[in-house]
Amino acid sequence: MGEDHARIVGRDLPGALLQVVCDKDPGRAEAIAKAHGASDVASDPEATIARDDVDAVIIASPDFTHAPLSKACIAAGKPVLCEKPLSQSSAECLEVIEAEQNAGKQHVMLGFMRRYDQSYIEMRDALTSGRLGRALMMHNFHRNVETPAADFTGAMAITNSAPHEFDVVRHVLGTEFTSVTAHQPRRSDTRVAPVVMVLETEDGQLVTIEINNNAAYGYDVRAELVGEAGSVAMNNVAYTRTDMKLASSTRYDADWRGRYHEAYVRQNREFLRFVETGTLPEIASTAWDGYCATVVAEAGAMALATGQKQPVQLMSKPEFYAGRKGAAA
């Protein structure tokens, strides 16, 4: 993921300079820096954040480092684009929120890039324009070819994969979740089975989310928004179709890179504007959004473990996040 961001900065962000690639593996850092035009490499993230020649930071390291490094960026007064999740602990998310509020400016933009995907943009527009009428349901599925690790579990699917759905559904519907149930079918082998969640919202809508990390056939993410006056559904993104031997076929990507490349570029361009202007983009995810996604994930994991519906209990939204107090450039 880090190299993907380095490639975008180096190739798709005019006005941005890839100054430093920081990685615990010096050889990997050197290779990425050489490939994408970085000026320097490093292995100490805190020292890199503190450098005078670093104006902003992109965090794409392992999940457990996201909150501590985000807090280091806040302490240094530097805007940061942090990959999801902000943390897998809601308590740790609150530490980041507290650090931002104490600083008096928003520094953290979360990497929930689906907000910038054209499919979700059109879906949200269909709802906010009134064309769909009142939203009733939103169905979502997120399928990968196979799990990233042999010990991947259903709970990990909820805490690592599903936060994208948790955030973009909140964004599209403009509401919060109030409860979640979670279920798993039984596979015939030892691979982790899909997780299916049913969530309720404050506005009385139902949301279904399927996370299938061993779908085998390809990377496939889709959604359907059902309103009182109609529905909007995503198509599989395929640029070509093959017709031969009495059959027609399209292909699936192996991972997210092709499907969401444009969304990542749009997101990172918005982050660059944040760095230049100090104003957080209107649809960007904040530390508050990161906290909300993590609270839903925690409730979902508990629902899966207990087999019982779990409440989604958010703290009251701080007034600080009602406006856009971006870190000054």
List pLDDT tens digits, range 238-269.
888 899 999 999 889 999 898 999 999 999 99
Q: Note whether residue 59 is domain-resident.
A: yes
Pick the residue with more confidence: 236 or 221? 221
Structure tokens at 251: 């292909």
The pLDDT, as a whole number, for residue 99 is: 98
Q: Report the range of poorest mean pLDDT among 117-121, 144-148, 180-184.
A: 144-148
Q: Note whether residue 77 is domain-resident.
A: yes
**Does one domain contain both 97 and 121?**
no
Mean pLDDT of 42-51: 97
**Does one domain contain both 50 and 96?**
yes
- Quick one: 15 exposed, middle or buried, by C-beta within 10 A (0-12, 13-18, 19+)? exposed
Mean pLDDT of 162-190: 97
**Does one domain contain both 96 and 129?**
no
Structurally, how many domains does the chain consist of? 2
The pLDDT, as a whole number, for residue 329 is: 31
List pLDDT tens digits, range 78-108.
999 999 999 999 999 999 999 999 999 999 9
**Mean of pLDDT over the chain:** 94
d(C-alpha 103, C-alpha 118), whole Å: 34
Q: Note whether residue 322 is domain-resident.
A: no
**Does one domain contain both 230 and 121?**
yes
Whether the pLDDT of residue 140 is over 50: the answer is: yes
**Does one domain contain both 119 and 221?**
yes
The CATH number for 195's domain is 3.30.360.10
**Does one domain contain both 280 and 249?**
no
pTM (2 d.p.): 0.94
Mean pLDDT of 68-83: 98
Mean pLDDT of 44-65: 97
The pLDDT, as a whole number, for residue 300 is: 98
**Does one domain contain both 86 and 166?**
no
**Does one domain contain both 163 and 175?**
yes
Coil, helix or strand for 155? helix
The pLDDT, as a whole number, for residue 323 is: 60
**Does one domain contain both 273 and 183?**
no
Pick the residue with more confidence: 256 or 59? 59
Q: Note whether residue 317 is domain-resident.
A: no
**Does one domain contain both 128 and 11?**
no
The pLDDT, as a whole number, for residue 327 is: 40
Q: Note whether residue 48 is domain-resident.
A: yes
Mean pLDDT of 313-329: 72
**Does one domain contain both 128 and 148?**
yes
Q: Note whether residue 166 is domain-resident.
A: yes
**Does one domain contain both 101 and 133?**
no
Q: Note whether residue 292 is domain-resident.
A: no
Mean pLDDT of 132-151: 94
The CATH number for 108's domain is 3.40.50.720
Find the domain containing 240 and state its range: 115-255
The pLDDT, as a whole number, for residue 263 is: 96
d(C-alpha 58, C-alpha 70), whole Å: 9
Q: Note whether residue 302 is domain-resident.
A: no
